[in-house]
């Protein structure tokens, strides 16, 4: 129930924020999600990070922001209400990821990713239905689906893809941790833009180049730090 509440609240606040922020601003904030995930992993899970790891995360955030803004025509617009909503959404998402890691995967009897996803989605659907009927928005939703009959099959297809995506993310959290999962999710944004270059050729600009270099430096540096940590643990044994 608590996990579903975190998940639903994060999605709801993100959607509300889109009414006040443009796409470029949303990209900037979502790209920085790894920072609150690391911060809450210290508070909730009890992890410790060196200043080098914080630096690597900051370089990654900078690289992703530059790389993704290179793909956006508009400049960020920081509406105060929207900033507050998206910041709250990021914090809730960060708490959610670490809550999953600590209470479902780093416990005496860990859950499977399928169990977590099934019950979180089921209870979250309940929260969504209550909100939908309480607000009266269900009437407009039904009317829209009746008018555009292709919407429901598209939503069903999107749900299948979403299930697969979340399953992979939960597996990353279970076996590697919330911070590592967020790093992979951040790199996914860069990969999607790289693929778009292949499918839809476009002109390069300085943001793409600078962003790619920053992401590459951060990725190499992160692998180096992980290797350094493993060697340190091996020496300690």
Contact 93, 33 (CB under 8 A): yes
Q: Which of 225, 223, 218 lies closest to 34 in space, CA to CA? A: 218
Contact 85, 20 (CB under 8 A): yes
CA–CA separation, 148 vs 151, rounded Å?
6
Residue 235 confidence class, pLDDT cut points 50, 70, 90: low
Rg (CA), the chain: 20
* Position 91 pLDDT exceeds 60: yes
Average confidence score pLDDT of the chain: 81
| pLDDT above 90: percentage of residues in the chain | 1
Count CB atoms within 10 A of the CB of residue 166.
16
Region 47-75: what's the mean pLDDT?
Answer: 78
DSSP for the chain reads -HHHHHHHHHHHHHHHHTTTS-HHHHHHHHHTTHHHHHHHIIIII-----HHHHHHHHHHHHHHHHHHHTT-SSPP---HHHHHHHHHHHHHHHHHHHHHIIIIISSSSPPPHHHHHHHHHHHHHHHHHHHHHHHTHHHHHHHHHHH-TTHHHHHHHHHHHHHHHHHHHHHHHHHT-HHHHHHHHHHHHHHHHHHHHHHS-----HHHHHHHHHHHHHHHHHHHHHHHHHHHHHHH-
Q: Which of 176, 25, 36 lies closest to 106 in space, CA to CA? A: 176
Which tokens is 146 given?
A: 């009746």
> Is the whole-model pTM more than 0.75?
no
Region 217-233: what's the mean pLDDT?
Answer: 75
Highest mean pLDDT among 59-68, 121-130, 147-156: 147-156
pLDDT at residue number 162: 84
Contact 73, 131 (CB under 8 A): no
């Amino acid at each position: 129930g608590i996990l579903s509440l975190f998940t639903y609240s994060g999605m709801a606040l993100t959607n509300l924020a889109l009414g006040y922020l443009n796409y470029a601003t949303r990209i900037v904030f979502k790209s920085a999600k790894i920072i609150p995930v690391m911060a809450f992993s210290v508070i909730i899970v009890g992890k410790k990070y060196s200043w080098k790891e914080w630096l690597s995360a900051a370089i990654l955030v900078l690289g992703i922001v530059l790389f993704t803004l290179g793909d956006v025509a508009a400049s960020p617009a920081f509406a105060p209400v929207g900033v507050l909503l998206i910041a709250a959404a990021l914090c809730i998402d960060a708490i959610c990821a670490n809550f999953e890691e600590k209470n479902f995967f780093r416990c005496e009897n860990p859950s499977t990713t399928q169990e977590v996803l099934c019950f979180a989605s089921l209870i979250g659907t309940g929260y969504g239905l209550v909100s939908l009927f309480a607000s009266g928005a269900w009437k407009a939703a039904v009317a829209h689906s009746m008018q555009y009959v292709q919407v429901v099959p598209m939503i069903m297809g999107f749900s299948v893809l979403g299930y697969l995506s979340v399953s992979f993310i939960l597996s990353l959290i279970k076996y590697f941790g919330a911070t590592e999962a967020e790093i992979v999710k951040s790199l996914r944004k860069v990969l999607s833009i790289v693929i778009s270059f292949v499918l839809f050729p476009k002109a390069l600009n300085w943001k793409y180049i600078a962003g790619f270099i920053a992401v590459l430096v951060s990725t190499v540096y992160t692998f180096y730090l992980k290797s350094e940590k493993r060697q340190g643990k091996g020496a300690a044994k």
